[in-house]
Structure 1
Protein backbone atom coordinates (compact mmCIF):
# COMPACT_ATOMS: atom_id res chain seq x y z
CA UNK A 1 0.00 0.00 0.00
CA UNK A 2 1.12 3.53 -0.77
CA UNK A 3 2.29 5.44 2.29
CA UNK A 4 0.00 8.39 3.00
CA UNK A 5 1.84 11.70 3.27
CA UNK A 6 1.03 15.22 4.44
CA UNK A 7 0.71 16.16 0.75
CA UNK A 8 -2.03 13.55 0.34
CA UNK A 9 -3.90 14.89 3.37
CA UNK A 10 -3.52 18.48 2.10
CA UNK A 11 -4.87 17.55 -1.34
CA UNK A 12 -7.79 15.62 0.16
CA UNK A 13 -8.70 18.51 2.48
CA UNK A 14 -8.00 21.16 -0.19
CA UNK A 15 -5.53 23.05 2.01
CA UNK A 16 -1.79 23.67 1.96
CA UNK A 17 0.79 21.29 3.45
CA UNK A 18 1.79 23.97 5.97
CA UNK A 19 -1.82 24.18 7.17
CA UNK A 20 -1.88 20.40 7.70
CA UNK A 21 1.44 20.63 9.54
CA UNK A 22 0.07 23.34 11.81
CA UNK A 23 -3.00 21.19 12.54
CA UNK A 24 -0.89 18.12 13.35
CA UNK A 25 1.25 20.18 15.73
CA UNK A 26 -1.88 21.63 17.36
CA UNK A 27 -1.05 25.16 16.27
CA UNK A 28 -4.53 26.00 15.09
CA UNK A 29 -5.67 28.82 17.36
CA UNK A 30 -6.45 30.98 14.33
CA UNK A 31 -7.59 28.16 12.06
CA UNK A 32 -11.24 28.08 11.06
CA UNK A 33 -13.46 25.31 12.41
CA UNK A 34 -14.41 24.20 8.88
CA UNK A 35 -10.74 23.88 7.91
CA UNK A 36 -9.96 21.86 11.04
CA UNK A 37 -12.88 19.53 10.36
CA UNK A 38 -11.79 19.00 6.73
CA UNK A 39 -8.25 18.12 7.80
CA UNK A 40 -9.47 15.85 10.60
CA UNK A 41 -11.77 14.07 8.17
CA UNK A 42 -8.96 13.69 5.63
CA UNK A 43 -6.62 12.24 8.26
CA UNK A 44 -9.29 9.72 9.30
CA UNK A 45 -10.41 8.74 5.81
CA UNK A 46 -6.88 8.32 4.46
CA UNK A 47 -5.57 6.62 7.62
CA UNK A 48 -2.66 9.05 7.89
CA UNK A 49 -0.05 8.30 10.55
CA UNK A 50 2.67 10.88 11.31
CA UNK A 51 6.29 9.84 10.81
CA UNK A 52 7.49 10.24 14.40
CA UNK A 53 11.16 9.76 13.55
CA UNK A 54 11.13 12.32 10.75
CA UNK A 55 9.28 14.79 12.92
CA UNK A 56 11.79 14.27 15.75
CA UNK A 57 14.73 14.94 13.43
CA UNK A 58 13.08 18.09 12.09
CA UNK A 59 12.10 19.44 15.50
CA UNK A 60 15.28 18.17 17.22
CA UNK A 61 13.06 16.62 19.86
CA UNK A 62 11.74 13.11 20.33
CA UNK A 63 9.03 14.30 22.73
CA UNK A 64 10.25 11.57 25.06
CA UNK A 65 11.95 11.52 28.46
CA UNK A 66 13.47 8.70 30.47
CA UNK A 67 12.86 7.86 34.13
CA UNK A 68 15.33 5.57 35.90
CA UNK A 69 14.07 4.29 39.25
CA UNK A 70 16.15 2.53 41.88
CA UNK A 71 13.51 -0.12 42.56
CA UNK A 72 10.10 -0.10 40.94
CA UNK A 73 8.69 -2.25 43.77
CA UNK A 74 8.62 0.77 46.07
CA UNK A 75 5.19 2.40 46.34
CA UNK A 76 6.91 5.80 46.29
CA UNK A 77 8.59 5.00 42.95
CA UNK A 78 5.35 3.99 41.23
CA UNK A 79 3.57 7.11 42.51
CA UNK A 80 6.40 9.36 41.30
CA UNK A 81 6.31 7.67 37.87
CA UNK A 82 2.56 8.23 37.64
CA UNK A 83 2.94 11.94 38.48
CA UNK A 84 5.68 12.36 35.88
CA UNK A 85 3.65 10.51 33.25
CA UNK A 86 0.60 12.65 33.96
CA UNK A 87 2.63 15.85 33.58
CA UNK A 88 4.29 14.64 30.39
CA UNK A 89 0.98 13.52 28.88
CA UNK A 90 -0.34 17.07 29.20
CA UNK A 91 2.70 18.27 27.23
CA UNK A 92 2.36 15.51 24.60
CA UNK A 93 5.54 13.78 25.79
CA UNK A 94 6.13 10.06 26.24
CA UNK A 95 7.94 8.38 29.15
CA UNK A 96 10.33 5.41 29.07
CA UNK A 97 10.70 3.81 32.52
CA UNK A 98 13.80 1.82 33.48
CA UNK A 99 14.40 -0.13 36.70
CA UNK A 100 18.06 -0.02 37.78
CA UNK A 101 17.78 -2.19 40.92
CA UNK A 102 20.28 0.16 42.62
CA UNK A 103 22.90 -1.37 40.33
CA UNK A 104 25.38 1.22 38.97
CA UNK A 105 26.16 -0.99 35.96
CA UNK A 106 22.48 -1.18 34.99
CA UNK A 107 22.09 2.53 35.66
CA UNK A 108 24.98 3.36 33.31
CA UNK A 109 23.57 1.11 30.58
CA UNK A 110 20.14 2.68 30.89
CA UNK A 111 21.50 6.22 30.69
CA UNK A 112 23.50 5.26 27.59
CA UNK A 113 20.47 3.52 26.05
CA UNK A 114 18.20 6.50 26.68
CA UNK A 115 20.79 8.86 25.21
CA UNK A 116 21.04 6.60 22.14
CA UNK A 117 17.26 6.86 21.76
CA UNK A 118 17.72 10.65 21.88
CA UNK A 119 15.31 11.23 24.74
CA UNK A 120 15.04 14.93 25.56
CA UNK A 121 15.99 14.48 29.22
CA UNK A 122 16.21 12.05 32.14
CA UNK A 123 14.90 11.93 35.71
CA UNK A 124 16.84 9.43 37.81
CA UNK A 125 16.98 7.97 41.30
CA UNK A 126 20.80 7.87 41.12
CA UNK A 127 22.89 5.06 42.56
CA UNK A 128 25.60 7.64 43.28
CA UNK A 129 28.28 5.41 41.79
CA UNK A 130 28.62 6.79 38.24
CA UNK A 131 30.36 10.02 39.10
CA UNK A 132 32.12 10.57 35.76
CA UNK A 133 28.90 9.94 33.87
CA UNK A 134 26.92 12.40 36.01
CA UNK A 135 29.64 15.03 35.66
CA UNK A 136 29.74 14.51 31.90
CA UNK A 137 25.99 15.09 31.67
CA UNK A 138 26.38 18.20 33.79
CA UNK A 139 29.23 19.57 31.65
CA UNK A 140 27.19 18.91 28.52
CA UNK A 141 24.19 20.67 30.08
CA UNK A 142 22.08 17.66 29.23
CA UNK A 143 18.64 17.91 30.90
CA UNK A 144 18.89 15.71 33.97
CA UNK A 145 17.17 15.78 37.39
CA UNK A 146 17.97 13.75 40.49
CA UNK A 147 14.95 12.28 42.26
CA UNK A 148 14.89 11.20 45.92
CA UNK A 149 18.69 11.32 46.23
CA UNK A 150 21.72 13.59 46.12
CA UNK A 151 25.19 12.80 44.82
CA UNK A 152 27.93 14.67 46.72
CA UNK A 153 29.96 16.87 44.38
CA UNK A 154 27.42 16.74 41.56
CA UNK A 155 25.31 19.89 41.52
CA UNK A 156 22.13 19.00 39.65
CA UNK A 157 18.52 19.96 40.24
CA UNK A 158 17.09 17.50 42.76
CA UNK A 159 13.78 16.73 44.47
CA UNK A 160 13.79 15.02 47.87
CA UNK A 161 11.80 14.47 51.03
CA UNK A 162 12.95 16.13 54.25
CA UNK A 163 14.16 12.72 55.38
CA UNK A 164 15.50 13.74 58.78
CA UNK A 165 12.17 15.29 59.62
CA UNK A 166 10.38 12.08 58.61
CA UNK A 167 12.27 10.09 61.25
CA UNK A 168 11.85 12.85 63.81
CA UNK A 169 8.06 12.79 63.31
CA UNK A 170 8.05 9.03 63.92
CA UNK A 171 10.14 9.23 67.09
CA UNK A 172 7.98 12.13 68.33
CA UNK A 173 4.91 9.93 67.91
CA UNK A 174 6.51 6.96 69.68
CA UNK A 175 7.54 9.12 72.64
CA UNK A 176 4.10 10.76 72.76
CA UNK A 177 2.59 7.25 73.02
CA UNK A 178 4.91 6.44 75.94
CA UNK A 179 7.61 4.36 74.22
CA UNK A 180 11.26 4.84 75.13
CA UNK A 181 12.92 1.75 73.68
CA UNK A 182 12.73 2.57 70.00
CA UNK A 183 14.44 0.57 67.27
CA UNK A 184 14.93 1.19 63.56
CA UNK A 185 15.37 -1.24 60.68
CA UNK A 186 16.85 -0.20 57.34
CA UNK A 187 17.81 -1.79 54.04
CA UNK A 188 21.53 -2.11 53.36
CA UNK A 189 23.48 1.06 54.08
CA UNK A 190 26.69 0.05 52.33
CA UNK A 191 25.76 2.43 49.47
CA UNK A 192 25.45 6.19 50.02
CA UNK A 193 21.68 6.24 49.47
CA UNK A 194 20.51 9.65 50.67
CA UNK A 195 17.12 8.74 52.25
CA UNK A 196 18.62 5.87 54.26
CA UNK A 197 21.50 7.91 55.64
CA UNK A 198 19.36 10.96 56.40
CA UNK A 199 16.55 8.99 58.03
CA UNK A 200 19.02 7.19 60.27
CA UNK A 201 20.55 10.53 61.23
CA UNK A 202 17.10 11.93 61.94
CA UNK A 203 16.33 8.92 64.15
CA UNK A 204 19.48 9.49 66.20
CA UNK A 205 18.85 13.24 66.46
CA UNK A 206 15.29 12.69 67.66
CA UNK A 207 16.40 10.22 70.32
CA UNK A 208 18.90 12.77 71.63
CA UNK A 209 16.16 15.42 71.74
CA UNK A 210 14.30 13.27 74.28
CA UNK A 211 17.48 12.32 76.20
CA UNK A 212 17.12 8.73 75.00
CA UNK A 213 20.51 7.14 74.51
CA UNK A 214 21.21 5.59 71.12
CA UNK A 215 21.50 1.81 71.41
CA UNK A 216 23.56 0.39 68.52
CA UNK A 217 21.76 -2.94 68.79
CA UNK A 218 18.46 -1.14 68.18
CA UNK A 219 19.58 -0.08 64.70
CA UNK A 220 19.83 -2.87 62.14
CA UNK A 221 20.25 -2.98 58.37
CA UNK A 222 20.65 -5.66 55.78
CA UNK A 223 19.49 -7.23 52.53
CA UNK A 224 15.81 -8.03 52.17
CA UNK A 225 16.67 -11.72 51.84
CA UNK A 226 17.99 -11.51 55.42
CA UNK A 227 15.35 -9.19 56.81
CA UNK A 228 13.34 -11.80 58.71
CA UNK A 229 16.49 -12.97 60.49
CA UNK A 230 17.46 -9.37 61.29
CA UNK A 231 14.05 -8.68 62.85
CA UNK A 232 14.24 -11.95 64.79
CA UNK A 233 17.65 -11.04 66.19
CA UNK A 234 16.53 -7.59 67.30
CA UNK A 235 13.34 -8.78 68.96
CA UNK A 236 15.23 -11.62 70.65
CA UNK A 237 17.57 -9.27 72.52
CA UNK A 238 17.55 -9.59 76.30
CA UNK A 239 16.01 -6.11 76.38
CA UNK A 240 14.29 -5.72 72.98
CA UNK A 241 12.76 -2.51 71.64
CA UNK A 242 9.09 -1.79 72.32
CA UNK A 243 8.67 0.06 69.06
CA UNK A 244 10.11 -0.24 65.54
CA UNK A 245 10.52 2.38 62.83
CA UNK A 246 10.55 0.89 59.33
CA UNK A 247 12.83 3.03 57.16
CA UNK A 248 10.73 2.44 54.04
CA UNK A 249 7.73 0.54 52.73
CA UNK A 250 9.58 -2.68 51.89
CA UNK A 251 11.00 -2.87 55.41
CA UNK A 252 7.48 -2.33 56.74
CA UNK A 253 6.24 -5.31 54.68
CA UNK A 254 8.95 -7.49 56.26
CA UNK A 255 8.08 -6.40 59.80
CA UNK A 256 4.38 -7.06 59.22
CA UNK A 257 5.18 -10.48 57.78
CA UNK A 258 7.30 -11.30 60.81
CA UNK A 259 4.56 -10.13 63.17
CA UNK A 260 2.04 -12.34 61.41
CA UNK A 261 4.27 -15.41 61.33
CA UNK A 262 5.26 -15.08 65.01
CA UNK A 263 1.92 -13.93 66.37
CA UNK A 264 3.24 -10.55 67.50
CA UNK A 265 0.38 -8.33 68.56
CA UNK A 266 0.51 -4.79 67.17
CA UNK A 267 0.70 -2.46 69.04
CA UNK A 268 0.43 -4.31 72.38
CA UNK A 269 3.60 -6.37 71.84
CA UNK A 270 5.27 -4.06 69.36
CA UNK A 271 4.42 -0.57 68.12
CA UNK A 272 5.19 0.12 64.46
CA UNK A 273 5.53 3.21 62.28
CA UNK A 274 6.58 3.06 58.63
CA UNK A 275 8.03 5.80 56.47
CA UNK A 276 6.03 5.74 53.19
CA UNK A 277 2.26 5.54 53.33
CA UNK A 278 1.32 2.18 51.81
CA UNK A 279 -2.02 1.70 50.05
CA UNK A 280 -3.34 -0.82 52.61
CA UNK A 281 -2.36 1.21 55.71
CA UNK A 282 -5.88 2.44 56.36
CA UNK A 283 -7.56 -1.00 56.24
CA UNK A 284 -4.84 -3.27 57.63
CA UNK A 285 -5.67 -4.49 61.13
CA UNK A 286 -4.70 -2.61 63.15
CA UNK A 287 -4.49 0.39 60.83
CA UNK A 288 -0.89 1.49 60.34
CA UNK A 289 0.62 4.75 61.51
CA UNK A 290 2.85 6.03 58.70
CA UNK A 291 4.93 8.98 57.60
CA UNK A 292 3.80 9.87 54.11
CA UNK A 293 5.73 11.49 51.30
CA UNK A 294 3.92 13.85 48.89
CA UNK A 295 5.01 11.59 46.03
CA UNK A 296 2.74 13.08 43.37
CA UNK A 297 3.83 16.63 44.15
CA UNK A 298 7.47 15.53 44.13
CA UNK A 299 7.12 13.74 40.78
CA UNK A 300 5.40 16.74 39.23
CA UNK A 301 8.13 19.06 40.52
CA UNK A 302 10.84 16.85 39.04
CA UNK A 303 9.07 16.91 35.66
CA UNK A 304 8.70 20.70 35.83
CA UNK A 305 12.41 21.09 36.54
CA UNK A 306 13.33 18.79 33.66
CA UNK A 307 11.10 20.67 31.23
CA UNK A 308 12.67 23.97 32.28
CA UNK A 309 16.04 22.50 31.34
CA UNK A 310 14.71 21.05 28.07
CA UNK A 311 13.25 24.44 27.16
CA UNK A 312 16.48 26.14 28.29
CA UNK A 313 14.64 28.30 30.80
CA UNK A 314 17.30 27.75 33.47
CA UNK A 315 20.25 29.32 31.66
CA UNK A 316 22.71 30.81 34.12
CA UNK A 317 20.88 29.64 37.23
CA UNK A 318 22.47 27.42 39.86
CA UNK A 319 21.14 23.93 40.52
CA UNK A 320 18.42 23.82 43.15
CA UNK A 321 17.53 21.16 45.73
CA UNK A 322 13.84 21.07 46.60
CA UNK A 323 12.82 19.45 49.89
CA UNK A 324 9.22 18.42 50.54
CA UNK A 325 7.80 18.08 54.08
CA UNK A 326 6.64 14.66 55.33
CA UNK A 327 3.31 14.17 57.08
CA UNK A 328 2.42 11.97 60.04
CA UNK A 329 -0.72 9.89 59.48
CA UNK A 330 -1.76 8.81 62.96
CA UNK A 331 -3.54 5.46 63.02
CA UNK A 332 -3.57 2.48 65.40
CA UNK A 333 -0.18 0.72 65.17
CA UNK A 334 1.44 3.13 67.62
Structure 2
Protein backbone atom coordinates (compact mmCIF):
# COMPACT_ATOMS: atom_id res chain seq x y z
CA UNK A 1 0.00 0.00 0.00
CA UNK A 2 1.41 3.39 -1.03
CA UNK A 3 1.39 5.85 1.86
CA UNK A 4 2.98 9.03 3.08
CA UNK A 5 5.87 8.33 5.45
CA UNK A 6 8.39 9.98 7.70
CA UNK A 7 11.97 8.86 8.27
CA UNK A 8 13.19 8.28 11.84
CA UNK A 9 16.11 6.65 13.60
CA UNK A 10 15.47 3.01 14.54
CA UNK A 11 16.22 3.65 18.20
CA UNK A 12 13.48 6.29 18.26
CA UNK A 13 10.69 4.19 16.70
CA UNK A 14 8.76 3.54 19.93
CA UNK A 15 8.84 7.14 21.12
CA UNK A 16 7.82 8.63 17.78
CA UNK A 17 5.10 6.01 17.19
CA UNK A 18 3.57 6.91 20.56
CA UNK A 19 3.64 10.58 19.57
CA UNK A 20 2.01 9.83 16.21
CA UNK A 21 -0.71 7.70 17.85
CA UNK A 22 -1.51 10.43 20.35
CA UNK A 23 -1.80 12.95 17.52
CA UNK A 24 -3.91 10.62 15.39
CA UNK A 25 -1.32 10.64 12.61
CA UNK A 26 -0.11 7.04 12.55
CA UNK A 27 -1.58 4.65 9.98
CA UNK A 28 -1.92 1.36 11.82
CA UNK A 29 -1.99 -2.04 10.16
CA UNK A 30 1.05 -1.33 7.97
CA UNK A 31 4.46 -2.88 8.55
CA UNK A 32 7.30 -0.48 9.37
CA UNK A 33 10.04 -0.36 6.73
CA UNK A 34 13.53 -0.63 8.24
CA UNK A 35 16.69 0.37 6.40
CA UNK A 36 19.91 0.09 8.38
CA UNK A 37 19.77 2.55 11.27
CA UNK A 38 16.68 4.23 9.83
CA UNK A 39 13.00 3.39 9.59
CA UNK A 40 9.98 4.72 7.69
CA UNK A 41 6.66 5.12 9.52
CA UNK A 42 3.33 5.39 7.61
CA UNK A 43 1.44 8.59 8.42
CA UNK A 44 -1.85 10.24 7.48
CA UNK A 45 -0.11 13.60 7.26
CA UNK A 46 3.47 14.68 7.86
CA UNK A 47 4.06 16.42 11.21
CA UNK A 48 6.07 19.62 11.34
CA UNK A 49 9.82 19.11 11.31
CA UNK A 50 9.84 15.95 9.19
CA UNK A 51 10.46 15.40 5.48
CA UNK A 52 7.71 13.69 3.50
CA UNK A 53 8.24 10.40 1.66
CA UNK A 54 6.06 8.02 -0.30
CA UNK A 55 6.66 4.36 0.44
CA UNK A 56 5.06 1.05 -0.46
CA UNK A 57 4.15 -0.53 2.89
CA UNK A 58 3.22 -4.17 3.45
CA UNK A 59 -0.15 -4.62 5.13
CA UNK A 60 -0.13 -6.60 8.38
CA UNK A 61 -2.70 -9.43 8.15
CA UNK A 62 -5.57 -8.95 10.60
CA UNK A 63 -5.79 -11.75 13.13
CA UNK A 64 -9.49 -12.34 13.75
CA UNK A 65 -9.24 -15.70 15.51
CA UNK A 66 -6.78 -18.44 16.40
CA UNK A 67 -7.49 -19.93 12.96
CA UNK A 68 -5.40 -17.17 11.39
CA UNK A 69 -2.42 -18.37 13.45
CA UNK A 70 -2.67 -22.15 12.98
CA UNK A 71 0.19 -23.59 10.96
CA UNK A 72 -1.50 -26.50 9.18
CA UNK A 73 -2.18 -27.17 5.48
CA UNK A 74 -4.72 -24.71 4.09
CA UNK A 75 -7.01 -27.46 2.82
CA UNK A 76 -7.41 -28.75 6.40
CA UNK A 77 -8.42 -25.44 7.97
CA UNK A 78 -12.05 -26.11 7.10
CA UNK A 79 -12.02 -28.78 9.85
CA UNK A 80 -10.88 -26.40 12.60
CA UNK A 81 -13.46 -25.84 15.37
CA UNK A 82 -15.14 -22.44 15.30
CA UNK A 83 -16.11 -22.61 18.97
CA UNK A 84 -14.81 -24.12 22.20
CA UNK A 85 -15.56 -24.13 25.90
CA UNK A 86 -13.43 -21.81 28.01
CA UNK A 87 -13.32 -22.80 31.68
CA UNK A 88 -11.10 -20.51 33.72
CA UNK A 89 -7.78 -20.54 31.88
CA UNK A 90 -8.48 -23.85 30.12
CA UNK A 91 -9.75 -24.12 26.54
CA UNK A 92 -11.56 -27.37 25.69
CA UNK A 93 -11.77 -28.32 22.02
CA UNK A 94 -13.23 -31.13 19.96
CA UNK A 95 -11.19 -31.95 16.86
CA UNK A 96 -12.16 -33.64 13.63
CA UNK A 97 -10.17 -36.82 13.01
CA UNK A 98 -8.63 -35.20 9.92
CA UNK A 99 -6.72 -32.70 12.08
CA UNK A 100 -5.99 -34.72 15.25
CA UNK A 101 -2.33 -35.06 14.24
CA UNK A 102 -2.06 -31.25 14.31
CA UNK A 103 -3.52 -30.93 17.81
CA UNK A 104 -0.37 -29.41 19.28
CA UNK A 105 -0.17 -26.77 16.54
CA UNK A 106 -3.84 -25.96 17.13
CA UNK A 107 -3.31 -25.72 20.88
CA UNK A 108 -0.34 -23.40 20.46
CA UNK A 109 -2.35 -21.13 18.16
CA UNK A 110 -5.22 -20.92 20.66
CA UNK A 111 -2.81 -19.92 23.44
CA UNK A 112 -1.06 -17.40 21.20
CA UNK A 113 -4.37 -15.79 20.24
CA UNK A 114 -5.80 -15.74 23.78
CA UNK A 115 -3.12 -14.85 26.31
CA UNK A 116 -5.42 -15.79 29.20
CA UNK A 117 -5.44 -19.45 28.15
CA UNK A 118 -2.81 -21.53 29.95
CA UNK A 119 -3.98 -25.02 28.94
CA UNK A 120 -5.66 -26.43 25.84
CA UNK A 121 -7.32 -29.83 26.22
CA UNK A 122 -8.78 -32.21 23.66
CA UNK A 123 -12.31 -33.40 24.51
CA UNK A 124 -12.67 -37.10 23.69
CA UNK A 125 -16.17 -37.51 25.12
CA UNK A 126 -17.09 -38.72 28.60
CA UNK A 127 -15.63 -41.38 30.84
CA UNK A 128 -16.15 -43.27 34.07
CA UNK A 129 -18.82 -43.61 36.72
CA UNK A 130 -19.07 -39.85 37.23
CA UNK A 131 -19.47 -39.07 33.51
CA UNK A 132 -16.66 -36.50 33.45
CA UNK A 133 -15.08 -35.26 30.26
CA UNK A 134 -12.31 -37.44 28.88
CA UNK A 135 -9.72 -34.70 28.43
CA UNK A 136 -6.21 -34.92 27.03
CA UNK A 137 -3.91 -31.96 27.65
CA UNK A 138 -2.52 -30.82 24.29
CA UNK A 139 -0.43 -27.95 25.60
CA UNK A 140 -0.26 -26.23 28.94
CA UNK A 141 -0.08 -26.61 32.68
CA UNK A 142 -2.92 -28.94 33.71
CA UNK A 143 -6.65 -29.17 34.26
CA UNK A 144 -7.15 -27.50 37.63
CA UNK A 145 -8.47 -23.96 37.25
CA UNK A 146 -10.59 -21.25 38.82
CA UNK A 147 -13.55 -20.23 36.67
CA UNK A 148 -15.20 -16.85 37.16
CA UNK A 149 -18.84 -16.21 36.34
CA UNK A 150 -21.68 -14.14 37.77
CA UNK A 151 -19.41 -12.59 40.38
CA UNK A 152 -18.20 -15.86 41.92
CA UNK A 153 -15.14 -18.10 41.62
CA UNK A 154 -15.43 -21.84 41.07
CA UNK A 155 -12.47 -24.14 41.65
CA UNK A 156 -12.60 -27.06 39.21
CA UNK A 157 -10.48 -30.10 38.49
CA UNK A 158 -11.67 -30.64 34.93
CA UNK A 159 -9.99 -34.03 34.70
CA UNK A 160 -12.15 -35.42 37.49
CA UNK A 161 -15.22 -33.19 37.82
CA UNK A 162 -17.72 -32.23 35.13
CA UNK A 163 -18.43 -28.55 34.54
CA UNK A 164 -20.12 -26.67 31.72
CA UNK A 165 -19.76 -22.89 31.28
CA UNK A 166 -22.80 -23.04 28.99
CA UNK A 167 -25.05 -23.21 32.05
CA UNK A 168 -24.01 -19.77 33.29
CA UNK A 169 -27.25 -18.07 32.20
CA UNK A 170 -29.29 -20.94 33.60
CA UNK A 171 -27.58 -20.62 36.96
CA UNK A 172 -28.45 -16.92 36.94
CA UNK A 173 -32.06 -17.78 36.12
CA UNK A 174 -32.34 -20.09 39.11
CA UNK A 175 -30.71 -17.49 41.34
CA UNK A 176 -33.39 -14.99 40.31
CA UNK A 177 -36.08 -17.39 41.58
CA UNK A 178 -34.52 -18.06 44.98
CA UNK A 179 -35.61 -16.00 47.98
CA UNK A 180 -33.84 -15.44 51.29
CA UNK A 181 -34.72 -18.00 53.94
CA UNK A 182 -35.10 -20.97 51.60
CA UNK A 183 -33.55 -24.38 52.10
CA UNK A 184 -31.95 -25.55 48.86
CA UNK A 185 -31.07 -29.13 47.93
CA UNK A 186 -28.39 -29.29 45.22
CA UNK A 187 -28.75 -33.01 44.66
CA UNK A 188 -26.08 -33.70 42.05
CA UNK A 189 -23.92 -30.69 42.76
CA UNK A 190 -20.74 -31.62 40.87
CA UNK A 191 -18.35 -28.69 41.16
CA UNK A 192 -21.03 -26.81 43.09
CA UNK A 193 -21.59 -23.98 40.63
CA UNK A 194 -25.30 -23.65 41.46
CA UNK A 195 -24.57 -23.90 45.20
CA UNK A 196 -21.78 -21.34 45.20
CA UNK A 197 -23.75 -18.76 43.22
CA UNK A 198 -26.89 -19.09 45.34
CA UNK A 199 -24.94 -19.32 48.59
CA UNK A 200 -22.99 -16.17 47.76
CA UNK A 201 -25.98 -14.09 46.67
CA UNK A 202 -28.80 -15.27 48.98
CA UNK A 203 -29.33 -15.83 52.72
CA UNK A 204 -30.23 -19.50 52.43
CA UNK A 205 -29.13 -22.93 53.64
CA UNK A 206 -27.84 -25.29 50.96
CA UNK A 207 -27.24 -29.03 51.16
CA UNK A 208 -24.96 -30.01 48.27
CA UNK A 209 -24.77 -33.72 47.53
CA UNK A 210 -22.49 -35.64 45.19
CA UNK A 211 -20.94 -39.10 45.25
CA UNK A 212 -17.78 -37.96 43.43
CA UNK A 213 -15.12 -37.35 46.13
CA UNK A 214 -13.15 -34.94 43.95
CA UNK A 215 -16.29 -32.89 43.25
CA UNK A 216 -16.84 -32.40 46.97
CA UNK A 217 -13.18 -31.46 47.44
CA UNK A 218 -13.55 -28.82 44.72
CA UNK A 219 -16.75 -27.55 46.30
CA UNK A 220 -15.03 -27.17 49.67
CA UNK A 221 -12.26 -25.13 48.03
CA UNK A 222 -14.84 -22.92 46.27
CA UNK A 223 -16.60 -22.38 49.60
CA UNK A 224 -13.27 -21.25 51.06
CA UNK A 225 -12.25 -18.85 48.30
CA UNK A 226 -15.73 -17.30 48.13
CA UNK A 227 -15.91 -17.01 51.94
CA UNK A 228 -19.29 -18.74 52.21
CA UNK A 229 -20.63 -20.42 55.35
CA UNK A 230 -24.15 -21.49 54.37
CA UNK A 231 -23.34 -24.59 52.29
CA UNK A 232 -23.15 -28.13 53.68
CA UNK A 233 -21.13 -30.40 51.33
CA UNK A 234 -22.24 -34.04 51.49
CA UNK A 235 -20.25 -36.89 49.95
CA UNK A 236 -22.86 -39.56 49.31
CA UNK A 237 -25.22 -41.09 46.81
CA UNK A 238 -28.41 -39.04 46.64
CA UNK A 239 -30.47 -42.19 47.13
CA UNK A 240 -28.86 -42.57 50.55
CA UNK A 241 -28.51 -38.89 51.45
CA UNK A 242 -32.26 -38.26 51.16
CA UNK A 243 -32.71 -40.40 54.27
CA UNK A 244 -30.97 -37.87 56.51
CA UNK A 245 -30.86 -34.44 54.86
CA UNK A 246 -33.74 -32.08 55.70
CA UNK A 247 -36.56 -31.34 53.32
CA UNK A 248 -36.04 -28.38 51.03
CA UNK A 249 -38.05 -25.57 49.52
CA UNK A 250 -36.24 -26.06 46.22
CA UNK A 251 -34.24 -28.93 44.72
CA UNK A 252 -31.82 -28.72 41.80
CA UNK A 253 -31.39 -31.91 39.78
CA UNK A 254 -28.58 -31.24 37.31
CA UNK A 255 -27.93 -34.78 36.08
CA UNK A 256 -29.03 -34.65 32.44
CA UNK A 257 -28.62 -38.35 31.68
CA UNK A 258 -30.46 -39.74 34.72
CA UNK A 259 -32.38 -37.08 36.66
CA UNK A 260 -35.94 -38.09 35.81
CA UNK A 261 -35.21 -41.72 36.63
CA UNK A 262 -34.27 -40.73 40.18
CA UNK A 263 -37.41 -38.73 40.92
CA UNK A 264 -38.95 -41.56 42.94
CA UNK A 265 -36.14 -41.26 45.50
CA UNK A 266 -36.39 -37.49 46.00
CA UNK A 267 -39.95 -36.47 45.17
CA UNK A 268 -40.97 -36.07 48.82
CA UNK A 269 -37.88 -34.04 49.75
CA UNK A 270 -38.80 -30.69 48.20
CA UNK A 271 -41.70 -28.44 47.28
CA UNK A 272 -40.17 -27.29 44.01
CA UNK A 273 -37.80 -28.95 41.55
CA UNK A 274 -35.49 -27.71 38.79
CA UNK A 275 -34.87 -30.79 36.68
CA UNK A 276 -32.38 -31.00 33.81
CA UNK A 277 -32.56 -33.70 31.19
CA UNK A 278 -31.06 -34.45 27.79
CA UNK A 279 -33.75 -35.33 25.24
CA UNK A 280 -35.07 -34.92 21.72
CA UNK A 281 -38.65 -34.92 23.01
CA UNK A 282 -39.20 -32.43 25.84
CA UNK A 283 -42.97 -32.88 25.73
CA UNK A 284 -42.54 -36.57 26.54
CA UNK A 285 -40.25 -35.71 29.45
CA UNK A 286 -42.80 -33.18 30.74
CA UNK A 287 -45.48 -35.86 30.65
CA UNK A 288 -43.18 -38.32 32.43
CA UNK A 289 -42.46 -35.82 35.22
CA UNK A 290 -46.14 -35.02 35.64
CA UNK A 291 -46.84 -38.74 35.79
CA UNK A 292 -44.77 -38.76 38.98
CA UNK A 293 -47.18 -36.31 40.62
CA UNK A 294 -45.42 -33.03 39.87
CA UNK A 295 -46.83 -30.10 37.93
CA UNK A 296 -44.41 -28.72 35.31
CA UNK A 297 -44.91 -24.96 35.36
CA UNK A 298 -42.20 -24.03 32.89
CA UNK A 299 -39.72 -25.76 30.59
CA UNK A 300 -37.33 -24.86 27.82
CA UNK A 301 -34.03 -25.43 26.07
CA UNK A 302 -30.81 -24.72 27.98
CA UNK A 303 -28.44 -25.60 25.13
CA UNK A 304 -28.20 -27.99 22.22
CA UNK A 305 -26.22 -31.23 22.06
CA UNK A 306 -26.92 -31.98 18.41
CA UNK A 307 -29.32 -30.83 15.67
CA UNK A 308 -32.04 -33.05 17.16
CA UNK A 309 -31.20 -33.26 20.87
CA UNK A 310 -30.79 -30.71 23.63
CA UNK A 311 -30.54 -30.21 27.36
CA UNK A 312 -33.83 -28.92 28.77
CA UNK A 313 -34.90 -27.50 32.10
CA UNK A 314 -38.19 -28.40 33.75
CA UNK A 315 -39.49 -26.30 36.65
CA UNK A 316 -41.94 -28.45 38.57
CA UNK A 317 -44.00 -28.06 41.75
CA UNK A 318 -45.16 -30.81 44.09
CA UNK A 319 -48.78 -30.89 45.15
CA UNK A 320 -49.92 -28.41 42.52
> TM-score, structure 2 length as denominator?
0.36
Max Rg structure: 2
The structure richer in helix per residue is 1
> TM-score, structure 1 length as denominator?
0.35
The structure richer in strand per residue is 2
